[in-house]
Amino acid sequence: MPTRAITEPDAPDPAAGDVLDTAEAGRLVLRGGALRVGGFVVGLLASLVGAALVTRHLGPEDYGRYQAVVALVTIVQAVTDLGMAALGLREYAQRTGADREHFMRTLLGMRLALTTGGVLLAMAVSWALGYDSQMILGAGLLGVGLIFAVLYGTLSIPLANDLKMGAVTGLDVARQVGVAAVFIVLVALGSGVAGFLAATIPIHLALVFVALALVHGRVPLRPTFDRREWLALVRPTITFALATAVGSLYVYAALVLTSLVSTKYETGLFGASFRVYLIAASVPGVLVTTAFPLLSRAARDDQVRLRYATQRLFEGTAALGGAALIACVLGAAPIIAVVAGSQYDGAIPVLRVQGTALALTFVISTWGFTLLAMHRHRQMIRANAVALVISVVTVLLLAHSHGAQGAAFGTLLGETWLACGYFWGIAGGDRAMRPSFRVVQRIVPAIALGLLPWFLPVPDAISTILGLGLYALALLLLGGLPEEIREHLPGPLGRLGLATPDGSELPDGSEPAGGG
């Protein structure tokens, strides 16, 4: 059978009736984002239960070993997977008919093969780094769960493309609750590090069968294992692959490097804080991933619509990032107490540093997915490569001398540069896409007001609640929320601050074609 080159997506098919081309798409994205955040809260509670049990059961040193393996496997998987998850979602949204089916067969075969190779590589790297036998075995077991996760993720791409966020949210909540349930069983059985690293295997396998039932055969189950087909897929997307791989690499590299240059105890402290950071940082990923099919279609067909959607996402994620910063700075002590316990008190100042980085992480998600939708991969590679160098150098220098808190500054400096690099990646190539900061300028004083309870002689939990309340009120009064969010607030709340011009509308003040 002759090889069919996979290059550019087919032209849009107006008769296809794709929801992404309708005026309803923007509203579905908004509702879907709200639904996914609600599901995230449910999943977060389950994850916190699981994390609280595991951290206490393993203790700082073993938990540091556990998180080091998780970070290593994640890094290797990011490098070997070549960013195929995000590529699959973008290309599915931009292709049609037989071209789409052919692409999905090639994608499925390539992802399964690369992930399997990545698992073997992760085990080899674990051995080369001097990890003990339980950590090497755990890397392999975590990798098996990852193979099932890749299969499940590929099968569920049509659900995200059709903006069926109820199904996507349900699957994600089921995954988090399921893993937490397995953790509870493992704690009761007195399991070691390797057992917890194997916890995802049964959950991801079950999700594969559920996804198969939901997509009704829309993803072909006959993967293409042909190197020529894979090369045809990779050649035009190699910069995309590098951009997404390096983006994942630098975040997790901090934990692996800390395990190499600092003590097991400090690695455990950083691991506890890093766990909270990752949970919070997944919020913007959930929101922007929901909108990614729409961004991809707009990038192909309608720049005005793309500019509008990106600006609104930027404003919304910036507002949420401010809340995350306040929660982590004021609430670091109670958060660590709940997630890890008193033996991890040394992680409190670490979380405050990483909480500051979170405000940038929220914004980075919007700009990163926009750059992917626009095929501006080289700009992403440059920004991520510099962020990686900055983070690695900082961690190597400061984690050795200042332990977990020094490593946390590596995360902060890396995110700071990455935000700047992504901004220039969007604004430098096209002035029409330059983000407006008028709404964000109102978020900054709201953050300052939200941090004032720091100086009050009240328990940290109370100051956190007060701070978030003040922040929310200031956002409303100063006009720091996008209109799409404000219009869903009840009665008087939705009208607060409306006298302030929004300042973030499109140049002509009009709505984009097809809905935001």
Report yes or no: 309 and 291 within 8 Å, Cβ to Cβ. Answer: yes
When computed from its CA atoms, the radius of gyration of the chain, rounded to whole angstroms, is 22
| Nearest Cα to Cα of residue 465 among 357, 323, 342, 351 | 323
Q: pLDDT value at position 15?
A: 38
Question: H-type helices in 82-96, by residue range?
Answer: 84-94
| C-alpha pair distances (Å), 85 with each of 92, 183, 272, 288, 510 | 11, 27, 27, 14, 34
pLDDT band at 9 (very low <50, low <70, confident <90, very high): very low
Average pLDDT over residues 362-374: 87
SS3 labels along 449-470 = HHCHHHHCCCCHHHHHHHHHHH
Q: pLDDT value at position 515?
A: 44
Q: Which two tokens stand for residue 412?
A: 């902060």
CA 82 to chain centre: 16
Q: Is the pLDDT of residue 16 over 70?
A: no
pLDDT band at 140 (very low <50, low <70, confident <90, very high): very high
Q: Is the pLDDT of residue 159 over 90?
A: no
Report the residue count for the chain: 516
| C-alpha pair distances (Å), 95 with each of 10, 13, 153, 164, 231 | 5, 9, 18, 18, 19
pLDDT band at 225 (very low <50, low <70, confident <90, very high): confident
Q: Which two tokens stand for residue 441?
A: 């300028």
Q: pLDDT value at position 506?
A: 40
Q: pLDDT value at position 41?
A: 75
**Out of 25-39, 113-127, 317-331, 349-363, which region has the weakest mean confidence (pLDDT)?**
25-39
Average pLDDT over residues 365-382: 85
Q: pLDDT value at position 90?
A: 77
Average pLDDT over residues 216-233: 77
Q: pLDDT value at position 7?
A: 39
Averaged pLDDT score across all residues of the chain: 82
Q: Is the pLDDT of residue 333 over 90?
A: yes
- Which is more confidently placed, 468 or 162? 468
pLDDT band at 156 (very low <50, low <70, confident <90, very high): confident
What is the enclosing helix (H) or strand (E) of 49?
helix 24-81
**Out of 65-69, 137-141, 315-319, 505-509, which region has the weakest mean confidence (pLDDT)?**
505-509
| Nearest Cα to Cα of residue 294 among 281, 313, 280 | 313
Q: pLDDT value at position 510?
A: 38
Average pLDDT over residues 488-514: 48
CA 457 to chain centre: 36
**Backbone φ and ψ of 89, nearest 5°:** -65, -40
Question: H-type helices in 262-339, by residue range?
Answer: 264-301, 303-330, 332-339
Q: pLDDT value at position 155?
A: 86
In a 10 Å sphere around its CB, with 0-12 CB exposed, 13-18 middle and 19+ buried, how is residue 143 labelled?
A: buried
| C-alpha pair distances (Å), 43 with each of 40, 46, 73, 283, 509 | 5, 5, 23, 11, 38
Range from 5-9, 23-27, 203-207 that averages highest in pLDDT? 203-207
Helix, strand, coil share of the chain (percent; to 5): 80, 0, 20
| C-alpha pair distances (Å), 363 with each of 372, 384, 423 | 15, 15, 10
Q: Is the pLDDT of residue 11 over 50?
A: no
Report yes or no: 383 and 417 within 8 Å, Cβ to Cβ. Answer: yes
Q: To 10 degrees, what angle do helices 24-81 and 165-189 make?
A: 40
pLDDT band at 37 (very low <50, low <70, confident <90, very high): low
DSSP state of 456: S
| Nearest Cα to Cα of residue 252 among 43, 414, 129, 117 | 414
Range from 75-89, 242-256, 398-412 that averages highest in pLDDT? 398-412
Domain extents for the chain? Answer: 29-225, 244-486
CA–CA–CA angle 131, 133, 135 (5° rounding): 55
Q: Is the pLDDT of residue 320 over 80?
A: yes
Report yes or no: 282 and 320 within 8 Å, Cβ to Cβ. Answer: no
d(CA 79, CA 122): 11
d(CA 324, CA 488): 21
Average pLDDT over residues 291-296: 80
Report yes or no: 376 and 429 within 8 Å, Cβ to Cβ. Answer: yes
Q: How many CA atoms lie within 13 A of 355 on its CB side?
A: 25
**Backbone φ and ψ of 244, nearest 5°:** -75, -35
Q: pLDDT value at position 453?
A: 95
Q: Is the pLDDT of residue 507 over 60?
A: no
**Out of 137-151, 169-183, 488-502, which region has the weakest mean confidence (pLDDT)?**
488-502
d(CA 514, CA 512): 6
Residue/partner pairs of 471-474 with CB below 8 Å, 24 or more apart: 471/322, 471/323, 471/326, 471/446, 471/447, 472/323, 474/445, 474/446, 474/449, 474/450
pLDDT band at 496 (very low <50, low <70, confident <90, very high): low
pLDDT band at 327 (very low <50, low <70, confident <90, very high): very high
The residue type of 366 is: T
Q: pLDDT value at position 446?
A: 94
d(CA 46, CA 175): 10
Range from 70-79, 116-125, 248-257, 478-487 that averages highest in pLDDT? 116-125
Q: pLDDT value at position 193?
A: 92
pLDDT band at 28 (very low <50, low <70, confident <90, very high): low
- Which is more confidently placed, 428 or 241? 428
- Percent of the chain past pLDDT 70, that is, above it, reads 82
Q: pLDDT value at position 241?
A: 63
In a 10 Å sphere around its CB, with 0-12 CB exposed, 13-18 middle and 19+ buried, how is residue 156 labelled?
A: buried
Q: What is the DSSP string of 188-229?
A: HHT--HHHHHTTHHHHHHHHHHHHHHHHTT-S-SS----HHH
Q: pLDDT value at position 450?
A: 95
